[in-house]
Amino acid sequence: MKNFSYLILVFLLGIFCGQKKETKKSEVVKVEKKLIFLIAPKDFRDEEFKIPYDYLTNWGIKITVVSAETTEAIGMLGMKVKPDISLDNLDYKNYDGFILIGGAGSVFYWNNKKVWEICQYFNENKKLLAAICLAPITLVKSGVLSQRKATCFKDKRALEEFQNANVEYLDKEVVVDHNIITANGPQAAEKFAKAILDYLKKY
């Protein structure tokens, strides 16, 4: 009788373990999307690049790192990243999303007309646009955030840009307004990454 009870227990454990394995498989279903990560040549914010990059590539998302040049970019905390392609050589229409990484160096792109053009293309085609820290100001200046809600690093100049462009500033870590996702700094990097993933899973 003891042997019979033992066999039943083993059988039930086998079923339970099998169910757990199936759940794990479903959790790691790959998301077949392609994103552009735009970083400044100098002083991009390390965590705002690394945390979303690692998180999203773990889900199978393909990321192309872009900068003004293909020479090694240096983060504010010393991280070194070799861009895959220069901004001028980027064929951006083949991607599902355009992600602007922040940091003090993101000011470099605030008035970049090529970046504005890319932002406008993604917005007009209802594709994902996302920016973190000071990078949302590039979205503001490109015109895609007019009469919409967003957040950014709480800087006096940045808030003035929001006000002047008729953008509603929300004092939150992450704001999602249709196809545009914004975040306010490095402490929000993981939430930013998760919001990007959630959007890509839906669309």
Looking at 91-178, list the stretches that DSSP marks H as alpha helix, in order from N- to C-terminal side.
Answer: 113-124, 136-142, 156-164
Residues 161, 142: contact at Cβ < 8 Å?
Answer: no
**Contact between residue 46 and residue 79 where contact means Cβ atoms under 8 Å apart:** yes
Write down the pLDDT at residue 26. Answer: 43
Closest CA to 149 of 176, 130, 123, 129: 176
Query: At residue 2, does pLDDT exceed 60?
Result: no
Asked if pLDDT for residue 203 goes beyond 70, the answer is yes
pLDDT digits (tens, 9 = 90+) for 155-190: 999 999 999 999 999 999 999 999 999 999 999 999
Helical residues (DSSP H) of the chain, grouped into ranges: 2-27, 46-57, 113-124, 136-142, 156-164, 189-202
What's the mean pLDDT in 17-43? 73
